[in-house]
Amino acid sequence: MLEIQERFDNTGYEHIAAAAGINNVHITEALDGGRATGFIAYAYEAERTVVYDLDDGGDLMLCDGLVRSVMLKSAMKGIETMTFELPDTSKLAPLVKLRFLAPGSNVCENIDGFMNACEHCKNQ
């Protein structure tokens, strides 16, 4: 069964923190039977959450789950903006396809609104 869980250490992900140039990188992994099948690396700032890397193994639904898990945590902290500063810009394409990002942008604004966008669908 697939689980998405935040790690409480960065073992194995030190290279991401080093590339980002910060120490407070959080890692959330997708686990299938205890084996990591993907991850998202991010840090909270006062006004935004910055995503430094993402690996979904090419699985669009896994990408959606990883990003939404960080969006939810950000919204709970009152953060409304998420910036994707990914080293491989080709990783932005699935985010555009999932409508997290507009074409040509790496910033998702109004996270709370995005997370609640389908509320009106319940009544249809």
Query: CATH no. for residue 85?
Result: 3.40.630.30
- Is residue 119 scored above 80 in pLDDT? no
Query: How many structural domains does the chain have?
Result: 1
Question: What is the arithmetic mean of pLDDT over 95-108?
Answer: 95
Q: Is 84 exposed, middle or buried (0-12, 13-18, 19+ CB in 10 A)?
A: buried
Q: What is the pLDDT of residues 49-63, one digit of tens each?
A: 999 999 999 999 999
Position 118 confidence tier, pLDDT thresholds 50, 70, 90:
low
- List the domain range (segments joined by +) for residue 38: 2-123
- Name the average pLDDT for the chain: 90
pTM of the model: 0.89
